[in-house]
Structure 1
């Protein structure tokens, strides 16, 4: 059995952040935030938000770093759910560590932070894949494909869920991509199904294949809390800016509940981090969607935005934003699990 996973980032207010001294480091040529944090023993998923708040006046476009500039590093006492290493004091050994090569070299070590999702099972499906890139958008001179960005959010979500003790199945897998921290994700066609089968060319065959894998795995976990999320990016007119929205089966009470709890998290996060705009994401029944209709676990179908709209593109082109999407999805999943048990 392949296990894959997630946790949500804890955000700090500025008064706590600036109430103590922080180590200083100089960014090297080619450094990004993730690389800089890891070089000093800090897990980006836990300390990214703290770093951004500490250094908000020293960051370039899309939160880039300037080589030769000095930056402040978060410490364990600045927040996060694990004790992070600092230059002066190494972090204590984690209670448990899983190694999942599918996440890529930089992310394959997964610390189990807690057991909030112990006993739960999640099936995660990145939309399209293989010979079908899904929706295509234009970003400067580059083409963006739905399947690559949906996959990166999905695999980040998988890692976060695992950090909380869940059993997670990545139904679509790319053997060599892992979690990627670049803005532009090149298109490829080497994704496979959970059992290693090539992704079929025909749309109906593709959908049947992934649903068959989900339902086969579902039988292994009868009696457990099981849910499925299918993650996509929509394609609309270039001028249409949309928010993240959710579909569920009209006759699935647990599917509706999961969608609503994730939606509540997104509403709260938008109110906190973008207080000058409303959040217009919706929860809607749409039983005609194949994976919603035929998957045995209660299912939520997620649309992350419009791949053709400039503002929406920033939501998933910037790696930090892809991580935030995964964090918020995880937060809603945790709320749903707690309410269901």
Structure 2
């Protein structure tokens, strides 16, 4: 019977350990308050304010002011922008945050896309097409602030040796399918962004393609396409355009990846474009907003149907 009090004491002492939140340390900088230090670490201050306050109560002055140079505990959470937006390296599948110093200016707008996972592939990032890298990052941020998780592939040139285009697609397929299965049950889509030629200021042609055998791929592409049609700088009608994957790499990717795939092509030289292109301005912010609008529409339509 003497064991019972000891066991009860052990249980009382041990219980708080199981309910603890993991933390990591950050040193406060000039101007930091609770809101700013949480934002700089990619956390939504409204959601995690109380947890931070309780963990650092002894180092907070005047209710919310921090002491410069002191160390503060930041909660480790799954909805941190450092975890919901990551770049994936093909060689070792290492995941690193898409954003760093930019986190201070990002804030959660909604959780509309809280059940959504997006995979973004940049083709030929080393071809001096900084435009597609910028809009991909902008798009990732736009989706993340609405609650989505975003994986970006191909944002940096990797040394893959003598890898053929098909082998590289195979690596994309393996990495994406692995994450798709880890997120089974969620809405998941893959968007490939391809630039033809150097994108400069002015006008450019955009086309969105889908996989012929995938209804979800077609709807995803059409919703993005509608956003560009609505903002075209040309009066041309695009209703007749039937954009289906034609090149072997895209077909191989679409056939073997688990999420529905759409391909967005950008041509910086409208004079040489194919007849299916939609003529738009090359404003990066507007361009990002148009894609985001199409993506949100696609998600909303599927949610309503379900």
Structure 1 and Structure 2 fold alike (TM over 0.5): yes
Matched with 1:195 is none
**Structure with bigger gyration radius:** 2
Residues 49-76 of structure 1 deviation map (CA, whole Å, 9 limit, x = unaligned): xxxxxxxxxxxxxxxxxxxxxxxxxxxx
Deviations 1:18-74 (A, max 9, x none): xxxxxxxxxxxxxxxxxxxxxxxxxxxxxxxxxxxxxxxxxxxxxxxxxxxxxxxxx
- 1:153 correspondence with 2:141: no
- What is the distance in 1 between the residues matched to 2:137 and 2:101? 14
Decide whether the 8 Å contact of 1:262 with 1:329 is kept in 2.
Answer: yes
Residue 209 of structure 2: which of 240, 244, 247 is its match? Answer: 247
Residue by residue, what CA displacement relative to the aligned partner does 1:261-319 show, whole Å, maximum 9, x if unpaired? 1111111223xxx4x63364945111642322322110000002235869999944xxx
- Which residue pairs with 1:286 in the alignment? 245
1:284 alignment partner, SS class: coil
Cα distance in 1 for residues equivalent to 2:167 and 2:244 = 24
**Count of paired positions:** 203
Structure 2 residue 264 is the aligned partner of structure 1 residue 306: no
Task: Structure 1: state its 5+ residue gaps.
Answer: 1-92, 134-144, 175-190, 193-197
Quick check: 1:217 aligned with 2:179? yes
Is the 2:197–2:268 contact (alpha carbons within 8 Å) kept by the matching residues of 1?
Answer: yes
SS at match of 1:159: helix
Query: Which residues in structure 2 correspond to 1:91-130 (within 5 Å)?
Result: 98-100=80-82, 101-106=97-102, 109-129=105-125
Once the 2 structures are TM-superposed, how far is the Cα of residue 107 of structure 1 from its aligned partner? 5.2
2:151 to 169, 176, 190: 169
Q: In the alignment, does 2:220 pair up with 1:258?
A: yes
- Provide structure 2 residue ranges, at least 5 long, that are not aligned to the other structure: 1-44, 49-78, 83-96
Deviations 1:202-229 (A, max 9, x none): 3222222222211111111112111000
For residue 98 of structure 2, give the secondary structure of its aligned residue in structure 1: helix
Structure with higher helix content: 2
Match of 1:325 in 2: 287
Give the TM-score normalised by the residue count of structure 2.
0.57
2: CA distance, partners of 1:106 / 1:298: 30
Match of 1:277 in 2: 235
Cα distance, 1:339 vs. partner?
0.4
